[in-house]
Amino acid sequence: MNENRHSVIVIVIIIVGVILLTKLFMIQVVDDSFLRRAERNAVQRIVDYPYRGLISDRHNELLVHNNPVFDLMVIPQEFSIEDTAKFCDIFQIEKEKLIERYTAAKKYSWVKPSPLIKQISTTDFAKIQDYLIDYPGLFVMTRSVRAYPDSIAGSALGYIAEIVPRQLERDTMHYYSQGDYIGHSGLESYYEKILRGKKGAKYKMVNVRGVDKGSFKNGALDTASVAGLNLQSTIDLQLQKYGEKLMKGKRGSVVAIEPKTGEILSMISAPVYDPNLLAGAAYSKNYNVLLSDTTKPLFIRPIQAKYPPGSIFKVVQSLIGLQWGILTPNTTFACNKALVACHNHPSPVNLFGAIRNSCNPYYYQAFRQMINQDVSTNTYTDTQIGLDKWHEAVEKFGLGHKLGVDLPYENSGSVPSSQLYNRIYGEGRWKYSTIYSLSIGQGEMLVTPLQMANLAAIFANKGYYYTPHLIKAINGDPNNIPEEYTTKHDVGVSAHHFDMVHDAMAEALYGTAMRAIIKDITIAGKTGTAQNPHGEDHSVFVAFAPKEDPKIAIAVYVENAGWGGRAAASTASLMIEKYLRGHTERPALEEYVLAGEFGD
Amino acid sequence: MYWLENSETDVRQNDLYINKIDWLSILLYGALVMIGWFNIYAAVYDEQAAKSIFDFSINSGKQLVWIGTAVLLITVIMVADYRLFDNLSLILYGIFLLILLLTPFIGKEINGQRAWFEIGPFRLQPGEFAKFATALALAKFIEKPSFDLSRPKFQFQAILIIMLPVSLIMLQPDTGTAMVYMAFFIMLYREGMPQKYYVFALVFIAISLLSLAVDNNLYIALPVAGLTLVLILMGKKNWQRIVTLCMIGIAIIAYSYSLDLVVSKLPQHQQNRIMVLFNPDIDPLGVGWNVTQSKIAIGSGGFWGKGYLEGTQTKFDFVPEQHTDFIFCTLGEEFGWIGSLIVVLLFVALLIRLVFLAERQKTRFSRVYGYCVISILLFHFMINISMTIGLFPVVGIPLPFFSYGGSSLWSFTILLFIFIKLDSHRIQLLGRMN
- Tell me the domain boundaries of chain A: 62-146
Q: Which residues of B touch A38 (CB under 8 A)?
A: 296-297, 299-300, 312-313, 333
CB B346 within 8 A of CB B28: yes
Of A338, A334, A390, which Cα lies nearest the Cα of A359? A334
Q: Do residue B337 and residue A208 have CB atoms under 8 angstroms apart?
A: no
Q: Which of A4, A11, A24, A43 to mutate to test the interface with B (most CBs of B within 10 A)?
A: A24
Which residue among B300, B318, B340 places its CB closest to the CB of A24? Answer: B340
CB atoms within 10 A of CB A331: 18
Q: Which of A16, A205, A206 to mutate to test the interface with B (most CBs of B within 10 A)?
A: A16
Q: How many Cα atoms sit within 13 Å of A504 on the Cβ side?
A: 26
Residue B396, φ and ψ in degrees, nearest 5: -75, 70
Q: What is the band of B1 on the pLDDT scale with cuts at 50, 70, 90?
A: very low
Q: Which residues of B touch A5 (CB under 8 A)?
A: 189-190
CB A565 within 8 A of CB A532: no
- CA of B245, closest CA in chain A: separation in Å? 29
Q: What is the band of B152 on the pLDDT scale with cuts at 50, 70, 90?
A: very high
Amino acid at B248: I
Query: Measured between alpha carbons, how far is residue A230 from residues A63, A150, A227, A348 in Å?
Result: 11, 18, 9, 57
> Which chain B residue has its CA at the smallest distance from A211's CA?
B316
Q: Which residues of A touch B310 (CB under 8 A)?
A: none
Q: Which residues of A touch B345 (CB under 8 A)?
A: 17
Is A34 an interface residue toward B (CB < 8 Å)? yes
Q: Which residues of A touch B298 (CB under 8 A)?
A: 24, 27-28, 34
Q: Which residues of B touch A206 (CB under 8 A)?
A: 316
The model's pTM: 0.63
- Helix (H, G, I), strand (E, B), or coil: what is residue B117? strand
> Which chain A residue has its CA at the smallest distance from B387's CA?
A20
Alpha helices in A293-345, H assignment, sequence order = 301-304, 313-324
Is A19 an interface residue toward B (CB < 8 Å)? yes
Q: Do residue B391 and residue A19 have CB atoms under 8 angstroms apart?
A: yes
Report the length, in residues, of chain A: 600
Mean pLDDT of chain B: 86
CB B44 within 8 A of CB B59: yes
Tell me what pLDDT residue A112 has: 72
Q: Do residue B355 and residue A206 have CB atoms under 8 angstroms apart?
A: no
Tell me what pLDDT residue B131 has: 92
* ipTM confidence score: 0.90
Q: Which of B28, B151, B309, B337 to mutate to test the interface with A (most CBs of A within 10 A)?
A: B337
Q: CA angle, corner B193, sides to B191 and B197, nearest 5?
A: 150
For A38, residues 6+ apart whose C-beta sits below 8 A from its C-beta are B296, B297, B299, B300, B312, B313, B333
CB B88 within 8 A of CB B371: no
Calculate mean pLDDT across residues B165-179: 88
Q: Sign of the CA dihedral B319, B321, B323, B325? A: negative
Is B300 an interface residue toward A (CB < 8 Å)? yes
> Which chain B residue has its CA at the smallest distance from A12's CA?
B378
Residue B306, φ and ψ in degrees, nearest 5: -90, -5
Is A22 an interface residue toward B (CB < 8 Å)? no
Q: Do residue A7 and residue B352 have CB atoms under 8 angstroms apart?
A: no
Which residue among A24, A42, A214 places its CB closest to the CB of B318? Answer: A42
Q: Which residues of A touch B364 (CB under 8 A)?
A: none
Tell me what pLDDT residue A600 has: 56
- CA of B250, closest CA in chain A: separation in Å? 31
Which residue among B298, B313, B382 places its CB closest to the CB of A16? Answer: B382
Residue A453 and residue A465: Cα distance in Å, rounded?
Answer: 11
Alpha helices in B214-306, H assignment, sequence order = 218-234, 239-265, 268-278, 289-299
Buried b (16+ CB within 10 A) or exposed e, B402-411: bbbbbbbbbb
Tell me what pLDDT residue B49 has: 72
Residue B416 and residue A435: Cα distance in Å, rounded?
Answer: 110
DSSP state of A524: E
Q: Do residue B378 and residue A12 have CB atoms under 8 angstroms apart?
A: yes
Tens digit of pLDDT at every position of chain A (600 positions): 567 889 999 999 999 999 999 999 999 999 888 888 887 777 777 777 888 889 999 898 888 888 877 888 888 877 877 788 888 888 888 888 888 888 888 887 777 777 788 778 778 888 887 787 777 778 777 777 888 888 888 888 888 888 888 888 887 777 877 767 888 888 888 998 888 888 887 877 777 666 677 777 677 777 888 888 898 999 999 999 999 988 888 889 999 999 999 999 999 998 888 888 888 777 878 888 888 888 888 888 999 988 888 888 888 888 888 888 888 888 888 888 888 888 888 878 888 888 888 888 888 888 888 888 888 888 888 888 888 888 898 899 988 899 889 988 999 988 888 888 888 888 888 888 888 888 888 888 899 999 999 999 999 999 899 999 999 998 888 888 888 888 899 988 888 888 888 888 888 888 777 788 888 888 888 888 777 777 788 888 899 988 889 999 999 988 887 776 788 888 888 999 999 888 888 888 888 888 877 765
- CA of B292, closest CA in chain A: separation in Å? 10
Tell me what pLDDT residue A209 has: 66
Residue contacts between A and B (CB atoms, under 8 Å): 127
Q: Which residues of B touch A32 (CB under 8 A)?
A: 302
Q: Which residues of A touch B351 (CB under 8 A)?
A: 13
Is pLDDT at B368 greater than 60 in this prediction?
yes
Residue A561 and residue A246: Cα distance in Å, rounded?
Answer: 14
pLDDT tens, residue by residue, B7-62? 444 445 456 777 789 999 999 999 999 999 999 998 888 777 778 888 888 888 99
CB A157 within 8 A of CB A55: yes
Q: Is the peptide bond before A271 cis (omega within 30 degrees of 0)?
A: yes
Is pLDDT at B4 greater than 50 in this prediction?
no
> Which chain B residue has its CA at the smallest distance from A10's CA?
B352
For A62-146, CATH number out of 3.90.1310.10, 1.10.3720.10, 3.30.70.120, 3.40.1390.30 equals 3.90.1310.10
Tell me what pLDDT residue A554 has: 93
Q: Do residue A13 and residue B378 have CB atoms under 8 angstroms apart?
A: yes
Is B381 an interface residue toward A (CB < 8 Å)? yes
- CA of A101, closest CA in chain B: separation in Å? 25
- CA of B47, closest CA in chain A: separation in Å? 8
Q: Do residue A209 and residue B317 have CB atoms under 8 angstroms apart?
A: yes
Q: Which of A2, A8, A11, A20 to mutate to test the interface with B (most CBs of B within 10 A)?
A: A20
Tell me what pLDDT residue B286 has: 64
pLDDT tens, residue by residue, A434-444? 888 888 888 88
Tell me what pLDDT residue B188 has: 93
Where is pLDDT greater, at A487 or B312? A487
Which residue among B47, B298, B318 places its CB closest to the CB of A24? Answer: B298
Where is pLDDT greater, at A515 or B432? A515
- Mean pLDDT comparison of A521-535, B214-228, B345-359, highest-scoring range: B345-359
Q: Do residue B302 and residue A10 have CB atoms under 8 angstroms apart?
A: no
What H or E segment, with its residue span, contains residue A434? Answer: helix A432-435
Amino acid at B313: Q
Q: Which residues of B touch A23 (CB under 8 A)?
A: 389, 391
Tell me what pLDDT residue B378 has: 96
